[in-house]
Amino acid sequence: MSKDDLKSKKSTNLNIRPRRIFSTEFKRQKVAELTSGKVSIANFSKLWGIRTHIVYRWIYKYSPDYKKGTTMVIQLDSEATKTQALLQRISELERTLGQKQMVIDFNEKLIEIASKELEIDIKKNFSPKP
For the chain, which residues make up each domain, given as ranges?
A: 10-62, 77-128
Q: Which pLDDT score is estimated for 88?
A: 96
Contact 51, 59 (CB under 8 A): no
What rounded mean pLDDT belongs to the chain? 82
For residues 28 and 22, give the distance between their C-alpha atoms in angstroms, rounded to a whole number. 10
Angle between helices 52-62 and 24-36 (to 10 degrees): 90
Helices (H), strands (E): how many in the chain?
5, 2
Query: Which one has a higher pLDDT value, 2 or 23?
Result: 23
pLDDT above 60 (res 92) = yes
Contact 30, 44 (CB under 8 A): yes
Q: Which pLDDT score is estimated for 98?
A: 96
Percent of the chain scored above 90 by pLDDT? Answer: 31
Q: Which pLDDT score is estimated for 70?
A: 67
Residue type, 24: T
Contact 118, 129 (CB under 8 A): no
Contact 113, 105 (CB under 8 A): no
State the DSSP code for 65: S
- 36-82 pLDDT, tens digit per residue, is 888 888 998 998 888 999 998 998 888 877 777 767 677 677 888 88
Q: Which pLDDT score is estimated for 65?
A: 77
Query: What pTM was estimated for this model as a whole?
Result: 0.42
